[in-house]
Amino acid sequence: MTHEELDGYDKLASAMALEFGSAIFRRFAKLNITNLLYLQGELTYIERDLADIIKDAKTTQDAEKCGYFFSVAEMKNSVYSAQWEKVLEGRRLLKEFNTTLLQLAQISQFSKPHDTDLGVFREFLEREEFAKGKMINPTDQWGEQNEDDLIWLGSPHDATDGFTRWVNTKVVSWFHDRWGCKNSKLRDLEAGVYIYDKHRITAHTYLISLIISGLLPATSIIVLYYVKNTAAKLVTISVYNMLFVVVMGLMSKAGRVEIFAAATAFAAVQVAMITNGSLQS
C-alpha cells in the first residue's frame, strides 16, 4: 500500500501524532480568563437578582412566595416563579463557569515546550512553506509573540533522565543534520518527517549509564590504592564525589534528597576504606 504525502493541517496533524514533542498548541490564557470573568460577572448579577427576589418575597408577606422558603416543590410547580427561573438561570451558568474554571486549571498544568522541540517545530513549518509556497493560516499561531502562551502535550523523552533527554534533543539533531537526513528509511512518507526509535536510544543511554555507574566506584578504589598522601586521597574523594553527584543528576531520575543520601554514602565508604587502612599496600 502506497502513502501519499499530505499537505497543510493534515500533514501537521500527522507529524504531531508521530512525535508528541511537536504537539504544540496555544493556551489562549487571556481569552480563557476573559471568558471566566464575563461568566463571573453574569453570575454576580444573578446572585444579586435572586437576593432581591427573596427579600421582596419576605417583605410582601405573600403566602405562596413564603412557601418557597420551605418547599422546592412549591417554588418549582408555581405557575410563574421568578425565583425558580432565576435559580435555573444561575444553575446553567454555574455549570458552565465551573466546567470552564476546571478546564483552565487543567490546561495551566501543561508545560511550555522545550526550546529544542519548539525550534524543530518551527523549522518544520518553514520547510513546508519553502516547499509548498504556502503557509498554514493564521501564520502567527506559533510565532514569537505567542511564545509565552504555548503549551505542549509532552515529549516522549520528557519523563526520562537528563542524559537521555540531552541525547534526544541535542545529539539526535546533530546526527540528523550530518547523516540521518540522508537515510530515507527514517522518513515517514505521509508526514514527511524523520522518525528515530526512542526505545532504542533509551536502551543505549541506559547501557552507558550502567557502565559509568560501575566504573566510578571501581576506578576510585584503584586511584586511591596508588595515592599514598592522605591529603591527596581526600582531594581524590572530593573529586570522585562531585563526579558521582553529576552522574546521578544527569543519568538518573533521582531527586535531590536521594542524590544527597547516595553521595554521602559513597563518600563515607571511601573514607572508611582509608581510615581502616584497607587501601594500604
The helix/strand/coil state of 25 is strand
Sign of CA dihedral 3, 188, 18, 25: negative
Residue 31 has a pLDDT of 94
For residue 1, the model assigns a pLDDT of 42
Q: Domain coordinates of the chain in residue numbers?
A: 8-26+112-158+189-196, 29-107, 200-275
pLDDT at 210 over 90: no
Cis peptide before 138 (omega within 30 of 0): yes
- Highest mean pLDDT out of 22-31, 199-208, 243-252: 22-31
Region 2-26: mean pLDDT is 73
- Pick the most confident of 44-48, 139-143, 219-223, 245-249: 44-48
- What do you get for the CA distance between the two ends of the chain, in Å? 71
* Residue 74 pLDDT: 58
pLDDT band, residue 98 (cuts 50/70/90): very high
Which residues is 194 bridged to in the sheet?
Answer: 187
Q: Tell which wins on pLDDT, 177 or 107.
A: 107
Q: Is the pLDDT of residue 186 over 70?
A: no
Mean pLDDT of 259-279: 73
Average pLDDT over residues 182-211: 72
Distance CA 186, CA 65 (A): 75
pLDDT per residue over 238-256, tens digit each? 888 888 888 888 777 777 7
pLDDT digit string, tens, across residues 53-97: 777 766 766 655 555 555 555 556 565 577 778 888 999 999 999
Decide if pLDDT at 2 tops 70. Answer: no
CA distance 247 to 245: 5
Q: What angle do CA 68, 50, 45 make, to 5 degrees?
A: 165
At 271 the pLDDT is 75
The one-letter amino acid code at 237 reads I
The pLDDT-based confidence of 110 (bands split at 50, 70, 90) is confident
